[in-house]
Amino acid sequence: MASRYRKALDEFGAMLGVGWDTERSARLAGWLQNRDPRCKAVAALALLITVALVRSPATLAVLYAFCLFVTATSRLSVTRLMRRAWIAAAVFTGLIALPAVLNVFTPGPTAVQLPFGWAVTTTGLTTAARLLLRALTSLHVLWLVVYTTPWNRVLAALGSLGAPAPAVVTLGITHRYAFLLTRMAGEMMASRSARTVGHIDGARNRAQITNAAGTLLLHSHHSASAVHGAMIARGFTGRFRSLEPFRATWRDVVLVLLALALSFAAWSIDRHAF
Amino acid sequence: MPSNDPPIFRARDIGFVYPDGTTGLNGVSFDVPKGDRLALLGANGSGKSTLLRLLSGLSFPTTGTLEAFGEPLTEKSLEDDAFSTAFRRRVQPVFQDADTQLFSPTVEEEVAFGPLQLGDPSRAASAVAEALEGMSVSHLRERAPYRLSGGEKRKVAFAAVLVLNPEVLLLDEPMTGLDPRSVGALLDALDDFSSGGGTIVVATHDLPLLKEMANRAIVLSEDGRVARDASVDDILADRPFLESHNLAHIHRHHHGGEIHTHPHEHGWEGTMS
Amino acid sequence: MHIPDGTISPSTAVVGYAAVAPFWFIASRKASKELKSAAIPRLGLYAAFSFVLMMFNVQLPGGTSGHAVGGALAAIALGPWQAVLAVSAALAIQAVFFADGGILALGLNCFIMAVALPFSAWYAFRLLRRGRLPELPAAAVAGWFGLMIGALLVAIALGIQPALFRAEDGTALYFPFGLAVALPAMLIPHALVAAPIEGLVSALVYGFLVRSQSGLVQDRPVEEGRMKLWPAWIGLLLMILLTPVGLLAQGTAWGEWGSEELEKLAGYLPKGFAAGQLESPTHVAPDYVIPGLPDMPGYVVSAVVGVICVLALVWVLGIALRERKPAPGDS
């Protein structure tokens, strides 16, 4: 049992290494990085809604290509983000999209005949393509914001947009300690298997894992309380503040307008052409 | 120098019990006048860190009263934003574990945190630059704090605290794990702070550095009581007292072919006294 | 159980946000006094624990993913309102950094896993404790129950998509499987694997934390006397509103077998519904917003019958679990 957990943790650790690297890309000198996070959020929201409303895979593909283009222009690694998005879309949307190609779920003209009376239908392919492209494009739009905005600025932006302080604070602390916990969990599992010789029966195993989980909680709590204390000592009362105040310039307004225009264009073209 | 101002801290009969029931502090009473350089001495587990947390307003005594600047320092009184802002501007802790003290993505943001929360945000940038300069860490401003060496982390932590121009510094084992140069830099910083009128309370069990940092010491016994409250000179001269309170030790020494024992401390220069 | 973007319509997403927003604000208001206290790092801790727990997920064909949440543990240890914040934070981090769960879908995901799950588990825990069940078994059952409620809600939210949102060529615009697939796909694996894990985690970790006297559990004695039941009524109302929609799936153009499946699954629908009582709508408008529900006279009747049945069940449970007070004059 433990080895399965450890393997899962290793995988997540690898993913985490990828997941927490946004700080680096957020500090590069790209044009998106310099935009006001609040305007980026509004622009992204408009695009996300559009992606959800658009029906034709062709329109979605165009939107996706546009995202890739924007990625390249802002000093982000297109290949890295593409790979991440494809993997995530495959994992989380793949099993939803794949069975939908079959005539059992989506009747329609046959594209590929399969044994046992099953077939891949053209309508099924459309449905699957739609789902996958939506997943890909949504992720990419999201990451255009996430990879170009330092996390502290995100929290400050949320606060200035009116999000309640406890929600923002919890988000901040969770972000920090999710990373710590997973790393500590991996280390505990590693050291535990290093100290274990032979086979442990199920009940002892579960007890050990539970104790490990509990101890992990206590360790992390100790750290979390200490950091919280340090923040309180320096005057923290719930609002995250940035050295650079948020200032929306004309460039940011243009960004929002462009996003809205693109959204409207995509939606109306999609509506009329398909 | 005697002063007519009210004491910075007034502790009367403080007791502290941990959540699991063990006693941390018992009947602790003392005053900290302005400009004092006070050391809290005691072996591990004697409650030094806990007492510092109480003085920082991060934990609160189970029994007894604690006053800061003449006002009661309680959970309730700190709920008032005006009082807590004023208190936090004046009293700053420096924790033993630098990693918990540094939680921002860059050194610059770390040092800016205090001024942004407590001070004038528009002046924050210049205050940060000054503080970084003062601790000679300006070259680290874009670095991530968790990637720094022990000494650098400690200096950044100091900068993050000194940038607020506090009146009181509460330090928990500030020199642990530091190389000699870093220790020297920090001692100088503390000296500047003190001669500028600041008050220092430092928890330590490191005797050799004691005379550099403090002129008065409160020794806590292992059951959390005040064993002695006297000048550093007096305490350091009292060997039996030091041994019985686990502040100096006896162990076997090998000199050439001879083996003998005598009480001593190890200086960080590697000499024995 | 995370719902990805693209599998629910924007209108469903809006409903999700509308449903969760009041809970977010109330939970925040309750927590705002604690900002300077140790409650916040403790909250973050449970959030991070929930985060890690949810990372261990398995994709379920016909549904989304199966995993434990840790929301029941947070609700039992800290109270349901803090659990709302904790699990929401975990879900937000997963959506933003790990693509697990969509952003448009975040409101709905939070409503299901950060509101419905913790509150259900918490009510179950308190009911069971009033019924004199010891803490650990009560936590286990409550955890199982809370997670099942979550799985059920996800299955319903997804399963009604194809009935409500279709393109002109009849294909599903969002989640392509109806209730007949979504319900068993989500409920069975969760009932057999994820929910027992949630129960186990809730019981064992809660027990550990209480034993270790770490201050990580909020001290709340199980009060005698009346619990505030109005939130349960609202939950009930919501469930009632949701169930007739399930019959819309009966009218889907594809999957004649769908209605047979639904009859087999009659256990998930209130007993008041007679099969075929409702005329399934023959047109589902291919529109961008939820079409106004067609006029269904049968709906009202079935809903009322359904409510009566559920209330009867609750009343019986209440009697069974009530503590017996000695009547005056008893020896």
3-state secondary structure chain B: CCCCCCCCEEEEEEEEECCCCCEEEEEEEEEECCCCEEEEECCCCCCHHHHHHHHHCCCCCCEEEEEECCEECCHHHHHCHHHHHHHHHHEEEECCCHHHHCCCCCHHHHHHHHHHHHCCHHHHHHHHHHHHHHCCCHHHCCCCHHHCCHHHHHHHHHHHHHCCCCCEEEEECCCCCCCHHHHHHHHHHHHHHHHCCCEEEEEECCHHHHHHHCCEEEEECCCCCEEEEEEHHHHHHCHHHHHHCCCCEEEEEEECCEEEEEEECECCCCCEC
Q: In terms of Cα–Cα distance, which of C163, C184, C169, C126 is closest to C246?
A: C163
pLDDT at position C34 is 77
Asked if A127's CB is within 8 angstroms of C28's CB, the reply is no
Q: Among the ranges A113-117, A238-242, B97-101, C12-16, which has the highest mean pLDDT value?
A: C12-16
pLDDT at position C220 is 56
Report how far apart the first and last C-alpha atoms of chain C are (Å, whole number): 53
Name the 3-class secondary structure at C119: helix
Q: Give the chain A residue nearest C205 (alpha carbons).
A: A214
Q: How far is CA B244 from CA A154, A155, B227, C138, in A?
A: 55, 52, 11, 52
Give the mean model confidence (pLDDT) for residues B37-47: 84
- The answer to whether B56 faces chain A, any CB pair under 8 Å, is yes
DSSP state of C116: I
Asked if C37's CB is within 8 angstroms of B20's CB, the reply is no
Which of the two residues, A233 and C256, has the higher pLDDT score? A233
Q: In terms of Cα–Cα distance, which of C258, C255, C63 is closest to A106?
A: C255
The structure tokens listed for B218 are: 């409160």
**Which chain B residues are Cβ-neighbours of C37 within 8 angstroms?**
75
pLDDT at position C302 is 52
- The answer to whether A22 faces chain C, any CB pair under 8 Å, is yes
CA angle A99, A102, A108 (to 5 degrees): 140
**Among B108-122, C145-159, C283-297, where is mean pLDDT lowest?**
C283-297
Distance between CA atoms of residues A70 and A76, nearest Å: 9
pLDDT at position C73 is 95
Most B-contacting residue of A21, A225, A242, A243 (CB-CB within 10 A), to test interface = A243
pLDDT at position C240 is 56
pLDDT band at C23, cuts 50/70/90?
A: very high
Asked if B56's CB is within 8 angstroms of A243's CB, the reply is no
pLDDT at position C246 is 43
Which of the two residues, B8 and C215, has the higher pLDDT score? B8
Most C-contacting residue of B16, B17, B20 (CB-CB within 10 A), to test interface = B20
pLDDT at position C118 is 97
Is residue C329 included in any domain, yes or no? Answer: no
pLDDT at position A156 is 84
pLDDT at position C265 is 41
Q: Among the ranges A214-218, B171-175, B262-266, which has the highest mean pLDDT value?
A: B171-175
Q: In terms of Cα–Cα distance, which of A249, A242, A57, A39 is closest to A151?
A: A242
pLDDT at position C320 is 56
Is residue C330 included in any domain, yes or no? Answer: no
Distance between CA atoms of residues C14 and C23, nearest Å: 15
Is residue C185 included in any domain, yes or no? Answer: yes
Phi, psi of C7, deg, nearest 5: -105, -5
* Regions of chain A short of the pLDDT cut 70: 1-21, 179-210, 212-214, 216-217, 274
**Among A253-257, B234-238, C22-26, where is mean pLDDT lowest?**
B234-238
Which of the two residues, C83 and B222, has the higher pLDDT score? C83
User: Given a cut of 90, is residue C187 above it in pLDDT?
Assistant: yes
DSSP state of A117: G
Distance between CA atoms of residues A154 and A62, nearest Å: 28
The region, left, alpha or beta by phi > 0 then psi within -120 to 50, assigned to residue B176 is beta
CA dihedral (A94, A97, A99, A105) in degrees, to 10, reads 160
Cα C307 off chain centre by: 18
Residue linked to tokens 């610059």: B108
User: Given a cut of 70, is residue B118 above it in pLDDT?
Assistant: yes
pLDDT band at B121, cuts 50/70/90?
A: confident
Asked if C213's CB is within 8 angstroms of B20's CB, the reply is yes
User: Do B156 and B148 meet the contact criterion of CB atoms below 8 Å apart?
Assistant: yes
Say which CATH number the domain at C65 has.
1.10.1760.20
H or E element at residue A145: helix A122-146
Distance between CA atoms of residues C220 and C306, nearest Å: 35
Under 8 Å CB pairs connecting chains B and C tally to 11
**Which chain B residues are Cβ-neighbours of C213 within 8 angstroms?**
19-21
Asked if A224's CB is within 8 angstroms of C44's CB, the reply is yes
Which residues have CB under 8 Å from C220's CB, separation 6+?
Answer: C79
Query: Quick one: chain A helix, strand, coil %, rounded to 5?
Result: 75, 5, 20
Asked if B58's CB is within 8 angstroms of A235's CB, the reply is no
H or E element at residue A112: strand A110-113
Q: Give the chain B residue nearest C209 (alpha carbons).
A: B20
Give all chains having 3 or more CB-to-CB distances under 8 Å with chain C.
A, B
User: Given a cut of 50, is residue B207 above it in pLDDT?
Assistant: yes
Burial class (CB in 10 A: 0-12, 13-18, 19+), B117: buried
Q: Give the chain B residue nearest A22 (alpha carbons).
A: B105
User: Given a cut of 80, is residue B59 above it in pLDDT?
Assistant: yes
pLDDT at position C18 is 96
**Which chain B residues are Cβ-neighbours of C214 within 8 angstroms?**
19-20
d(CA B99, nearest CA chain C) in Å: 16
User: Which residues of chain B from 16 to 35 reach within 8 Å of chain C, CB to CB?
Assistant: 19-21
Which of the two residues, C112 and A112, has the higher pLDDT score? C112
User: Given a cut of 70, is residue C26 above it in pLDDT?
Assistant: yes
Q: How far is CA C289 from CA B135, C10, C12, C13, C162, in A?
A: 61, 8, 9, 11, 14
pLDDT at position B40 is 93
The fraction of chain C above a pLDDT of 90, given in percent, is 43
User: Which residues of chain B from 133 to 192 reach within 8 Å of chain A, CB to CB?
Assistant: 142, 144, 160-161, 164
Per-residue pLDDT tens over the stretch A48-61: 999 999 998 999 99
Dihedral sign of CA atoms A137, A138, A144, A147 in order: negative
d(CA A227, nearest CA chain B) in Å: 5
The structure tokens listed for A227 are: 């950091």
pLDDT at position B167 is 95
Is residue C4 included in any domain, yes or no? Answer: no
Starting at the edge strand found earlier in the chain, the sheet holding B23-32 runs B23-32, B9-17, B63-68, B71-72
Distance between CA atoms of residues C112 and C110, nearest Å: 5
**Among B176-185, C62-71, C187-196, where is mean pLDDT lowest?**
B176-185
Name the 3-class secondary structure at A161: coil
Pick from A127, A213, A224: which is nearest to C176 by CB? A127
Distance between CA atoms of residues B77 and B65, nearest Å: 13
Distance between CA atoms of residues C254 and A101, nearest Å: 13
Which residues have CB under 8 Å from C228's CB, separation 6+?
Answer: none
Burial class (CB in 10 A: 0-12, 13-18, 19+), B255: exposed
Which of the two residues, C248 and A221, has the higher pLDDT score? A221
Pick from B58, B95, B161: which is nearest to A232 by CB? B58
Q: How far is CA B122 from CA A231, B106, B227, C320, in A?
A: 20, 19, 48, 65
**Which chain C residues are Cβ-neighbours of B84 within 8 angstroms?**
36
User: Given a cut of 50, is residue B264 above it in pLDDT?
Assistant: yes
d(CA C259, nearest CA chain A) in Å: 14
- The answer to whether B118 faces chain C, any CB pair under 8 Å, is no
Q: In terms of Cα–Cα distance, which of A24, A227, B18, A62 is closest to C40?
A: A227
User: Given a cut of 80, is residue C25 above it in pLDDT?
Assistant: yes
Under 8 Å CB pairs connecting chains A and C tally to 229
- The answer to whether A232 faces chain C, any CB pair under 8 Å, is yes
CA angle A209, A211, A216 (to 5 degrees): 95
Phi, psi of A200, deg, nearest 5: -105, 135
Q: How far is CA A139 from CA A44, A132, A267, in A?
A: 10, 11, 19
Is residue C278 included in any domain, yes or no? Answer: yes
pLDDT at position C56 is 83
pLDDT at position C327 is 44
Residue C65, strand partner residues: C59
Is residue C3 included in any domain, yes or no? Answer: no
Give the mean model confidence (pLDDT) for residues B119-136: 88
Radius of gyration of chain B (CA): 19
Starting at the edge strand found earlier in the chain, the sheet holding B91-94 runs B91-94, B168-172, B199-204, B37-41, B216-220, B226-231
Pick from B19, B79, B84: which is nearest to C213 by CB? B19
Which of the two residues, C293 and A180, has the higher pLDDT score? A180
The structure tokens listed for B72 are: 């009661």
Asked if A235's CB is within 8 angstroms of B104's CB, the reply is no
Radius of gyration of chain A (CA): 23
Q: What is the domain range of residue C174?
A: 10-321
User: Given a cut of 60, is residue C274 above it in pLDDT?
Assistant: no
**Domains of chain B and CATH, by start:** 9-247 (3.40.50.300)
User: Given a cut of 50, is residue B189 above it in pLDDT?
Assistant: yes
Per-residue pLDDT tens over the stretch A126-138: 899 999 999 999 9
Give the mean model confidence (pLDDT) for residues B62-85: 91
Count: domains in chain C:
1
User: Given a cut of 70, is residue B28 above it in pLDDT?
Assistant: yes
Name the 3-class secondary structure at C114: helix
**Which chain B residues are Cβ-neighbours of C36 within 8 angstroms?**
78-79, 84
Q: Among the ranges B205-209, C99-103, C297-301, which has the highest mean pLDDT value?
A: C99-103
Q: Are strands B168-172 and B199-204 parallel, antiparallel or unpaired?
A: parallel
User: Do A22 and A151 meet the contact criterion of CB atoms below 8 Å apart?
Assistant: yes
The structure tokens listed for C52 are: 């890690």
Q: In terms of Cα–Cα distance, which of C85, C79, C76 is closest to C20?
A: C85
Q: Give the chain B residue nearest A20 (alpha carbons).
A: B105
Q: Output the average pLDDT for chain C.
A: 75
Distance between CA atoms of residues C184 and C187, nearest Å: 5
Distance between CA atoms of residues C5 and C99, nearest Å: 9
Asked if B78's CB is within 8 angstroms of C36's CB, the reply is yes
Q: In terms of Cα–Cα distance, which of A181, B153, B183 is closest to C47?
A: A181
**Which chain A residues are Cβ-neighbours of C32 within 8 angstroms?**
164-166, 238
pLDDT at position A209 is 64
Pick from B95, B114, B128: which is nearest to A235 by CB? B114
The model's pTM is 0.76
User: Given a cut of 70, is residue C305 above it in pLDDT?
Assistant: no
Asked if C215's CB is within 8 angstroms of B19's CB, the reply is yes
**Among A201-210, B228-237, C18-27, C104-113, where is mean pLDDT lowest?**
A201-210
